[in-house]
């Protein structure tokens, strides 16, 4: 017997790739409660960190967020 397919969003995947971790973002949230940004690869993690600490970047936006 086959289990029925469940429709919805897998919270631990982005574009069919597993989430590797989370990076706190103080530019998107407040110092008291930073927003956690997910990343799937080491390249994405490095890009998030670069954007977070670069002085000319005001804030980051989640691409594809609804």
Sign of the Cα torsion 9, 10, 11, 15 reads negative
Whose tokens are 């069919």? That residue is 16
DSSP type of residue 36:
E
Task: Give residue-wise pLDDT tens across range 8-44.
Answer: 666 666 667 778 888 888 777 666 778 888 888 889 8
Q: Considering the domain boundaries, does residue 3 fall inside one?
A: no
Confidence at residue 6, expressed as pLDDT on a 0 to 100 scale: 58
Q: Considering the domain boundaries, does residue 22 fall inside one?
A: yes
Which residue range is the domain that position 29 belongs to? 13-53
Whose tokens are 């919270």? That residue is 11
Q: Considering the domain boundaries, does residue 37 fall inside one?
A: yes
- Please list, in sequence order, all residues whose beta carbon lies within 8 angstroms of the beta carbon of residue 62, skipping any fewer than 6 positions away: 37
Cβ atoms within 10 Å of 18's Cβ, excluding its own? 9
Whose tokens are 């930073």? That residue is 34
As for how many domains the chain has, the answer is 1
Higher pLDDT, 17 or 51: 51
Look at residue 3 and tell me whether its pLDDT is greater than 60. Answer: no
pTM as predicted: 0.58
Confidence at residue 66, expressed as pLDDT on a 0 to 100 scale: 42
């Amino acid at each position: 017997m086959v289990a029925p397919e469940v429709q919805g969003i897998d919270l631990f995947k982005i574009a069919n790739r597993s989430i590797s971790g989370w990076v706190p973002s103080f530019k998107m949230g407040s110092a008291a409660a930073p927003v956690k940004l997910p990343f799937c690869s080491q390249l994405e993690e490095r890009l998030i960190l670069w954007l977070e600490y670069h002085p000319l970047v005001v804030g980051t936006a989640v691409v594809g967020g609804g």
